[in-house]
Structure 1
Amino acid sequence: MGFSDLPLLDQIKGRMSWLDERQRVIAQNVANSDTPGYVGRDLKAPTDFAAALRDGGALQMTRTSANHIAPPVPQNRFHTSAAPDSETTLDGNTVVVEEQMLKMAESRMAYDAAISFYQKSMNMLRMAARGPGR
């Protein structure tokens, strides 16, 4: 079992993957900020354990016996939904670039925090794996 197989690190990687996908959706919103009728989209994080299992999220069921029922394979890990901003222009576009930039900065800060947590966890594991007196 390697470091990358630890559930904690797997969860951090899942969070970083979600944040990366959210940045892509936000960038798509900004790119379409002048498209008539475009409705802004956003990713919603699973809010409870049952939703995370149902949607496939970062939580995965594992078969520990051949007699167990195989878990369903999620079709798409992340789901976008319409998330109009606070204004709608006359042409029907709901993207406000300033609000999208705030969402982008929020995602970037969360991504930086996840990277920092991942690095600190790896450093702690490396320190624990060293022999005594090193």
Structure 2
Amino acid sequence: MLNRLDDMLSFHTQALRVRDQRQQVLASNIANADTPNYKARDLDFKSALQGALKGAPVAGGTTLATTTAGHLAGKPGLGADAGLLYRTPAQGSVDGNTVDMDAERAAFADNAIHYEFNLTRISQQIKGMLAVIQG
């Protein structure tokens, strides 16, 4: 029974994790819009989600080393070069920065809307399960 409940929520949970990682990358691009030679990065959502559904760390993330038996295992996150792609600039700049603020803002807003959708779906699924349990 619990496996069925977990499977039901698994897709949207994994999608939220990947969306969160992508939001962080896009925010980093926006924050570095004026940094000379900064190269805009992005993450391929489709392939990252497929990897996450197969059990791979989100965005090829790093794992933490545990040196003592009392250490807790950490959750994978973005490493320095964790499966991120460079974004191809629409127009070059003199300082070598490839961040296009219009494209970044649009991608950030699109990702935020999809993130909100996944939250709403999880909420609806939980409310549906509670309605069934309560009769």
Q: Provide the TM-score with structure 2 as the length reference.
A: 0.72
Unmatched tracts of structure 2, length 5 or more: 62-75, 77-81
| Aligned mates of 2:22, 2:39 — CA distance in 1 | 16
Match of 1:79 in 2: 83
| Aligned mates of 1:34, 1:117 — CA distance in 2 | 37
- The structure 2 residue matched to 1:123, chosen from 118, 127, 132, is 127
| Aligned mates of 2:97, 2:110 — CA distance in 1 | 23
- The structure 2 residue matched to 1:110, chosen from 96, 110, 114, is 114
Percent of paired sites with the same residue: 24
| Aligned mates of 1:4, 1:126 — CA distance in 2 | 15
Match of 2:37 in 1: 37
- CA contact under 8 A between 1:26 and 1:103: conserved in structure 2? yes
Deviation at 1:102, TM superposition (A): 0.5
- CA contact under 8 A between 1:38 and 1:93: conserved in structure 2? yes
Deviation at 1:46, TM superposition (A): 3.4
| Aligned mates of 1:29, 1:117 — CA distance in 2 | 28
Pairwise CA RMSD = 2.6
Larger Rg: 1
- The structure 2 residue matched to 1:96, chosen from 70, 78, 100, is 100
Deviation at 1:2, TM superposition (A): 4.9
Match of 2:8 in 1: 8
Q: Which has the higher helix share?
A: 2
Aligned pair count reads 114
Deviation at 1:79, TM superposition (A): 2.3
User: Match for 1:100: what amino acid?
Assistant: E
Unmatched tracts of structure 1, length 5 or more: 61-72
Matched, 1:59 2:54: yes
